[in-house]
Chains A and B, each alone.
Chain A
Amino acid sequence: MILQTAFMGLFGIAAIWFAVVVFRTHSMVRSALALLFSQAALGAMFLAMQAEFLGVLQIMMMATEMAIMAIFMVMFMMDPGGLGQMEMTHQKRLSQAAGVIGAFAALGIAFLAGWGNPAATAPGPQAQLRGLGLDLMERSMLIFETAGVTILTAMVAATAVAVATRSATKRKEDRE
């Protein structure tokens, strides 16, 4: 139990550290990879909490997700390679305020909510897998389907925005 808590803390600090690196660096690639490692550290926290499936899934999905993010980065950024030492932050005042409020809200929830007694033992990985499957197909189905469709819509919309329309291409050609 002590070892588990220690590893939890270690990976938690790693996740926060990499999250800080995301904004400290001036290269998009470093930023994206730091985000990936931050999320992978969260996956490692799941593993430390004996949630094997969730941990492995998180570690896998975040690598793929980072790839998708990079594709959109290339589509939308003026400087996708980050060669121009671009600034990673913008709207500083607003984001500082949002960050502080968010941190207090998270801490408030963490300390004020009644979490109940921690479970003495976690169910075996197989049982967890079964439980997750049943939950996905019953109680949480609507949530996940809604989230999935929303993300898909956003991706289609983003692609549609990034792709040049025929008329825009023609106008550009006319100008040239």
Chain B
Amino acid sequence: MNALRRHRALTRIWASAPGWKGWFTSVNHTDLGRMFLTVAVFFFLVGGILAMLIRAQLATPRSAFMGPETYNQVFTMHGTIMMFLFAIPFFEGLAVYLLPKLLGTRDLAFPRLTAYGFWCYVFGGSMMIFALLAGIAPDSGWFMYPPLSSTIGAPGINSDFWLIGITFVEISAISAAVEITVTILRYRAPGMSLAKMPIFAWYALVTAVMILTGFPPLILGSILLELERAFGMPFFQVAQGGDALLWQHLFWMFGHPEVYIIFLPAAGAISTILPVMARTTLMGYGWVVAAAVSLAVLSFGLWVHHMFTTGIPHMGLAFFSAASTLVAVPTAVQIFAWIGTLWRGRPGLHLPMMWLLAFFATFVIGGLTGVMVAVVPFDWQAHDTYFIVAHLHYVLIGGFVFPMLAALYYWMPHFVGRKTYFKLGGVAFWLIVPGFHGTFLLLHWAGLLGMRRRIDSYGPGQGWEIINLIASVSGFVMAIGFALVLIDVIINAVTAIRGSRDPWRAGTLEWAMPTPPAAYNFASLPHVDSRDPLYADRELPVRLARGEGYLGDPARGRRETLTVDIATGAPRTIVVFPGNTALPVLMSAVTGLFFLGMLVKDYWLVPISALGVIGCALAWVWSLGRRAPEGPLDAGRGAVLPVASEVADPPGWWGSLFLLLADGTFLGSLLFGYAFLWTIAPNWPPPAYAEPGPAALALVLAGAALTAVGGRLGALAGVAAALAGTVAVGLAALAVLAQVPDPAAHAYDATVWVLVGYALLHQVVALIMMALVAARRWAGHSAVTRRGAARVARLWSDYAALVALLAAAAVGLPGVLA
């Protein structure tokens, strides 16, 4: 088969449906990556317009441009959109588009999950935009501190839009994180060991794991605050045993890692682009990987530095001040590695390189002001002033937007397959960078002169007028620059002439394919022996197009790729991907109904849509795998490999493992919150602790054991055991809840209800999974094709059993100790 025939055959197999139908049924990562990026840019424009409204309001003292109610919505939505609807989804879009190409594979691990996450993002984001247009947008700040965001401070539906809309959008982040993690660990080109992985993949892996462990505290906080607002469960009400500071802990356990979740992908792009621009390789690859991992983990130990002014004891302040200064070390390691790379190479001043230089200048300033606010006495002075606003914009725009502009111009020839000309982009650069510094450098001074954050207007004579006027004019200059970037991208995408395959002469695999990329990425999968495969073998793209790699023969007529061993990159299995389907968009729409029911308080819609989601999920899983085993298949280059659905650790098992990491973090956050209230909150102990008693504890023990054993039995006996386990745990739950019948009475009672609900939910999930495994047996699936699914069900049943035991211990312990 020649290259052209192979291309046509593979395109028939992998392409999305033509026309508008393709938008809703595509599960292809290239299409979905582009869609993600386009929607994220749309939200960036909306957030940018809101920023301009803020600057228009603050340009002069006593401005009447907006009233305080409108201003509160505008600045809240600016922060919310930029953080949740632009920065994170832009990374997801870039990773969705790039990762399989960088890793030398044909798609992400779970193509339908990519589509589901995308549509959850679109629907959740639309919910927020609707609120903005309707004038009922959140108005309590993007951090939503209670009691400002409680029913006392925000009685309308505004805060509910934030709590429910953002939780909906976070499904997208968790989905993307699971599949980025599994893809990087298992879906690489054969031979690509961890040490030969492109540096962007390391950053993406670290970021994805951070999303899995950083987002659950916020999801928990949002659920608890919504439960308080909707049902009066007083988690944050001091009078009833709650504490508003609990929200700050949960929020910043997410919020500080979030800064690094935003920065690290940008650092990954820098580490990829900079060596190409400098015509060399990255200096200190191992050190850079270590710095990325260090930054990721250290960032989870910094959350209290956002709370230095809340009355925390000195030793607590010292812990987090020390940790905050520590984080400068790995950041500096990266900066020096990049400077060393530039020093070693011969940098060319192309537009991506200019954006990287802008990043250096800006981010270093942001990092240094970060060290200043890590020092407690300084933070006490600068906290809640425009100094902090200036600092965070230096970090986020300097550390994310500028590198992403470098990435945009670097990969644009790949996105559109055209030779780019950057004249307009150069003009935009000279508007954005000085405009940015004109806006935010001066705002440091405004903060030091005492200008508070979030104020909607200010009086004259405080020395802030000229600063704010210059900041506003500069802000508009920056906005014109961003508009030029958009026009530049559109012009390039539409009118530029066809470009060459590898315009930058880079070494990574995304340039080993024709651009714009075909739906299948690689006509055959490469065997990788080097960190920069194209530097090692310039003929590689031609040989891959000729079908000389793995899976070069499309004769089986289905979407296939390979999984590899995590460490060594040795090929392990052949994965068969699903085809185009509308199931993800349908399932995300039904998920949207679930959230909509909660938002508008039509609670009848919630269980119905929950059943709908379960139905969609079952239809989703049911179509996986074949009834009869296929046995080992030819994978090309002499490799004969089993199909992934017939081995003990299929991709779904890995996906479940990492989803459980997020789930476990959620439970850990809940237990932390419980312990926090127990030790710190005023108005404890509650009037009475629940005391489960020996009978209820015996029921929990028996229930957990039956659930765990059920996961090992399989088929009918397993389902019966899990059902009995669920009933036992359910009876114990009823006995406990009878002792605390009113979840609105005290924060303790409310926490017990949430713990019990969480345990029961996982019992039901495990039961459904085991029932599905049994149903597959009845439907004629062989023992071999059921093996992977059974192990997935066992993973969830073990977790459900563990949760039941932990919840019982957490509920019963305070009563025992008292």
A interacts with B: no
